[in-house]
Structure 1
Amino acid sequence: MTQPRKNAPTTRGRPFEPGNPGRPKGARHRTTLAIEALLEGEHEKLTRKAVELALGGDTTALRLCLERLAPARKDAPVSVELPRIEKPADAVAASAALIEAVSTGEITPDEAGRVMTLLTAHRTILETAELAARIAALEEARTPRRS
């Protein structure tokens, strides 16, 4: 039996039915659609005006233009020397090299965490491939050969 909701008396209207998926992916809000309809065909003029204001010294317009021209990077490449990883045991040496790089300040702990995630995934892939090969060899050895 389901428990009554704590805020049931203050909820306006009926709550969504269980399993209601909500708004479909890609669906757009009415306000967004209305704004897009208003701006239809005006993009070039608005862009030109923003550039003119930026060139005229408007710092807000300048920042807007620069953010569009060269957006801030979400992440940057991480350069760290790691040994080649060809078998799961090699991941231990790579992990040690990664920790060494953090301790010497070559990379940040956050960068090391992201690289470690890649190392862990790669190790798992290598282990899975190794296990699949071992299982195949066992099955091959178990299957009687016909002469």
Structure 2
Amino acid sequence: MNVTLILFQIDTTLEESALSPAPPENVGREQAKGCWQPGRSGNPRGKPKGARNHATRAAEALLEGEANALTRKAIDSALAGDVMALRLCMERILPARKSRLVNFELPAVKSATDLPAALAALIEAIAQGNLSPDEATPIAALLDAQRRAIETTELEKRIAALEAGRALS
């Protein structure tokens, strides 16, 4: 799409809105509340997926074909000592790490008696530098959730056995 075409579309939209009559001054919240019936939307299907705002499309059209020049300018500014440009470039080259896959030996946990060995393996991985404490924390939380699930299952079995014993008496 041509840049001038988009700008023309924006201008015509502005002209059309300027030509529309202004709402009366006495229109307040009470009258605005009655525009739609409760539970019914004015646009039941909602905004289509992938639909973008007019300003975003206009900005993309203006930048079309300029990405290489702008990137080169940012790099040149960073190399010249512009701290903000340097930060921008570094954030693109090496973004902040959110998470990573970790690989270490964790013994199987089938009962509550297996949990201490699993936690010991987790602590050993931290001590060896294979895991950071921040990476180990969610794993420890998973082990705790597994412990609770094991305890709940064992309690249900005990309660069922006790109830079965009472039924026989």
TM-score range, shorter chain: 0.5 to 0.7
Q: Which residue is equivalent to 2:65?
A: 41
Q: Write the distance in 1 (CA, Å) between the matches of 2:59 and 2:104.
A: 47
Deviation of 1:101 after TM superposition, in Å, equals: 5.8
Aligned pairs for 1:28-107 (under 5 A) are 28-78=52-102, 81-83=105-107, 85=108, 88-89=110-111, 92-93=115-116, 95-97=118-120, 100=123, 107=132
Q: Write the distance in 1 (CA, Å) between the matches of 2:58 and 2:50.
A: 16
Is 2:106–2:122's contact at 8 Å kept on the other side of the alignment? no
Deviation of 1:116 after TM superposition, in Å, equals: 4.2
Unaligned runs of 5+ in 2: 1-28, 150-169
Q: Write the distance in 2 (CA, Å) between the matches of 1:94 and 1:21.
A: 54
Report the aligned-residue RMSD.
4.1
Q: Which residue is equivalent to 1:9?
A: 30
Q: Write the distance in 2 (CA, Å) between the matches of 1:20 and 1:98.
A: 54
Q: Write the distance in 1 (CA, Å) between the matches of 2:86 and 2:122.
A: 42
State the TM-score, normalizing by the size of structure 2: 0.47
Q: Larger % of helix: which?
A: 2
- How many residue pairs were aligned? 112
State the TM-score, normalizing by the size of structure 1: 0.53
Amino acid at match of 1:41: G
Larger Rg: 2
Specify the SS of the correspondent of 2:73: helix
Unaligned runs of 5+ in 1: 1-7, 125-147
| Percentage of matched positions with identical amino acids | 42
Deviation of 1:71 after TM superposition, in Å, equals: 0.9
